Structure 1
Amino acid sequence: MPTDFHARIAAELADIDAQGLTKPERVIASRQGPVIEVGGRQVLNFCANNYLGLAGDQRIVDAAKAAADRRGAGTASVRFICGTQDIHKELEAAIAGYLGFEDAILFAAAFDANGGLFEPLFGEEDAIVSDSLNHASIIDGVRLCKAKRYRFANSDMDELESRLKEAREAGARNIVIATDGAFSMDGYIAKLDEIRVLADRYDALIMVDDCHATGFLGPQGRGSFAHHGVKIDFLSGTFGKALGGAMGGFICASAPVVQLLKQRARPYLFSNALAPAVCGASMEAIRIAQGSEGDALRTRLSANAHRYRMAMTDAGFDLLPGEHPIIPVMLGDAKLAQTLAARMLELGVYVIGFSFPVVPRGAARIRTQMSAAHTFEHIDQTVEAFKQAGKELGVI
């Protein structure tokens, strides 16, 4: 092997570490939940996407086991060859019905869903207008498409309208506005009510990635579009967060759009079907989320987020404003974020420092996330740990 290649890789890793940008992987030796085992001890977990607290729920586990017992570990094939089982069709119907769409298509991951959406539907004659803070999977999906690309500043409706005007004046056949429903690093909720007005004015379609909204935002937890009471054209989402915490993604849309994606979306055509256990777990999570128990979990999640946000603000921490259970603690410096996260773990709280390239340079943070499984006692203990660590490191 060429020695210069390995020397370059080693130097790049050393540079990443020197800047405080190394992202450590801490091994968890328990189920996902509000309390987890890390390094042989129990710690509070405040950085998971486990919004409804279902990832470790025994009912979800039992549903996964039952599905594996009935349909095996997996299909050993892609969907169109011999990889479609009845449980895949059941999950597609369940997620489409829950979210109010005609049909749905499953993917191995939500990243694949966004990677497979644009290229089959839009070509050189079309235009995609994308929010600047969109998830990397949307960015990569748009890159795979030949449509003309436009970009607008996060939730800036004036700039969005300017880009829509440009696209329309340039003669675009179809225009699609692409946005996260809730932005994962900041907890901002997209202004879909205002986007809907502009889409109608400029005859544009709307695509929303609702990975950080499905299950807990809006009536019945149907997501950011339901939160704003508007209709959209394409919705991508995941079963890896509020809906059970396993893995797998989906796109909900009209039946013809889903049928075309099943013929042309490369991540769908060339990836194995979702494991039956994932399908079983996800359907049980949907059952819980759309019912009265889901309403109770969403109420608890909102109360937890409010209590934590108020306590951290009173303690003097710099938080991004919002109503989402993603609550970033802004620090600015990457090394400080990593140091504070490490000290928090010593104090019994598992959180992670986020820095470039996950967030912009100079915007390092600890992204804390609330779960319906947290208790007020968990929250109060975490705030006290933040106060101790923050004072030690000069943050507050």
Structure 2
Amino acid sequence: MESTRNAIRMFGYGIRLKSKSLILNSRATTASLAATRELLDKQLQDIRDAGTWKAERIITSAQGANINVKGQTTNILNFCANNYLGLSSHPEVIEAGKKALTSHGAGLSSVRFICGTQDIHKALEEKIAKFHGREEAILYASCFDANAGIFEVLLSPDDAALSDELNHASIIDGLRLCKAQKHRYKNSDMSNLESMLNDTQNLRQRLIISDGVFSMDGNVAKLNDICKLADKYNAMVFLDECHATGFFGATGRGTEEHFGLDGKVDIINSTLGKALGGAAGGYTVGPKQLIDLLRQRSRPYLFSNTLPPPVVACASKALDLIMSNKDLPQRVVTNTRRFRTRMVDAGFTISGDPEHPICPVMLGDARLASTFADQMLERGIYVIGFSFPVVPKGKARIRVQISASHSEKDIDRAVDAFIEIGRKLKVIS
């Protein structure tokens, strides 16, 4: 009996010690969390003080040339979306999504190789491959995932990746995952690229990696020169076409078509989340052997849920509309020329390719860009100021994006607002 009582006393003592330990650990955790909060508050305040705080505006309507914005009483003209062809809210695209929701459900609750592949996924992959004139295509949840999933599979320590310094963040992150030698050449500097190709000739494979169009500046890669160097040094070419697919080039086939180089690029990654319906999704197109290997080894493909059926159907319908309406890309060009010509004539500095709908209005100062954008919204024009770390310090801008769905009246209204505010803020005289 005495031994039982002793055991009970010791058990109770152990509980008290454990409770005391939990209290002490809880206090320590609270103190640690408080210190972390303080550090985070300081970083957030530094962002505000620098004038680079990025507030999120709330849209209460479908995406389109005209949108409703919370807090604004009037209809707003949108010049800030990647909705280059205006298909995000196209009636046929929406109807296709509704039908797929009914016939194929909201989602697959699975990855592709388990039970996440439907007939519509295979049909869309075949359509994408045909659109680009390639052997095969593979779908991802986003182009960020496509870029995260390819380099680790394709490149080994015996290979080299030669990447443009202004490539998208997803390419940079994807390259971090692979074990190849990594070289970064100066933006569109072909002499620098050739030097790196020359220095890596002893390696098994070299992959030249570039955005087709650099999204912050609207500059088009020197694809003709890149392909010539690739031929000269027996290298492959990879192109990220997110800001070209569907609307750039005579029929929307992208940077290759723009330069008349159809089929010269070895691997293309692009998105369904911009011109092709604007919902979500990305893909890789290229040789069948590469696509087959990605299905076996690409981690974002193997470990992420497959694209929801409505998203697949919307993108498929968007592709149908692009392939049957060859005037859509030309409308983008016409609208772009009108905007750029009027803005330059007014005295603004606009960077980028003259025919590409990304039209960065260069302002330099981050706070000025933010103030300018806020005053544009007050006049019914939705644009956003871009500043560090999205663009380099001292390179703040308002990135205007032109759509086929904008009318001439829309373009002129936006330019008139730019001129009015530009004079008020002493950007132009």
TM-score normalised by L of structure 1:
0.98
| Cα distance in structure 2, aligned partners of 1:206 and 1:298 | 25
Number of the residue aligned with 2:192: 159
* Secondary structure, aligned partner of 2:213: coil
Check if 1:365 corresponds to 2:397. yes
Gaps of 5+ in 2: 1-29
* Secondary structure, aligned partner of 1:237: strand
Check if 1:348 corresponds to 2:380. yes
How many Å apart are 1:75 and its aligned residue? Answer: 0.3
Number of the residue aligned with 2:425: 393
Check if 1:53 corresponds to 2:113. no
Check if 1:75 corresponds to 2:108. yes
Number of the residue aligned with 2:416: 384
How many Å apart are 1:321 and its aligned residue? Answer: 4.1
Check if 1:66 corresponds to 2:136. no
Number of the residue aligned with 2:362: 330
How many Å apart are 1:165 and its aligned residue? Answer: 0.9
Number of the residue aligned with 2:21: none
Number of the residue aligned with 1:189: 220
* Secondary structure, aligned partner of 1:25: coil
Check if 1:122 corresponds to 2:119. no
Larger radius of gyration: 2
| Cα distance in structure 2, aligned partners of 1:146 and 1:159 | 22
| Cα distance in structure 2, aligned partners of 1:194 and 1:277 | 40
Per-residue CA deviation, residues 21-67 of structure 1 (Å, 9 max, x unaligned), is: 11111000111111110124311100111111111111100011111
Number of the residue aligned with 2:206: 175
| Cα distance in structure 1, aligned partners of 2:179 and 2:427 | 46
Check if 1:233 corresponds to 2:266. yes
| Cα distance in structure 1, aligned partners of 2:110 and 2:53 | 36
Number of the residue aligned with 1:271: 304
Gaps of 5+ in 1: none
Counterpart amino acid of 1:183? F
| Cα distance in structure 2, aligned partners of 1:46 and 1:321 | 16
Q: How many residues get paired?
A: 392
How many Å apart are 1:219 and its aligned residue? Answer: 3.6
Per-residue CA deviation, residues 186-239 of structure 1 (Å, 9 max, x unaligned), is: 111111111000000011000000000000112421111122222111100001
* Secondary structure, aligned partner of 2:82: coil
TM-score normalised by L of structure 2:
0.90
2:128–2:137 Cα contact (<8 Å) kept = yes
Counterpart amino acid of 1:22? W
Check if 1:317 corresponds to 2:348. yes
How many Å apart are 1:391 and its aligned residue? Answer: 1.1
Check if 1:339 corresponds to 2:371. yes
Deviant stretches of 4+, over 2 Å? none
| Cα distance in structure 1, aligned partners of 2:39 and 2:256 | 46
| Cα distance in structure 1, aligned partners of 2:239 and 2:58 | 33
1:278-297 → structure 2 map (5 Å cutoff): 278-291=311-324, 293=325, 295-297=326-328
Q: Percent identity?
A: 52
Number of the residue aligned with 1:104: 137
| Cα distance in structure 2, aligned partners of 1:186 and 1:163 | 25
| Cα distance in structure 1, aligned partners of 2:391 and 2:134 | 33
2:352–2:358 Cα contact (<8 Å) kept = no
| Cα distance in structure 1, aligned partners of 2:352 and 2:220 | 11
* Secondary structure, aligned partner of 1:281: helix
* Secondary structure, aligned partner of 2:327: helix
Counterpart amino acid of 1:135? H
| Cα distance in structure 2, aligned partners of 1:27 and 1:119 | 37
Match of 2:76 among 15, 19, 43: 43
Match of 2:39 among 2, 8, 16: 8
Per-residue CA deviation, residues 251-274 of structure 1 (Å, 9 max, x unaligned), is: 001111000001111000000000
Counterpart amino acid of 1:190? A
1:80-99 → structure 2 map (5 Å cutoff): 80-99=113-132
* Secondary structure, aligned partner of 1:290: helix
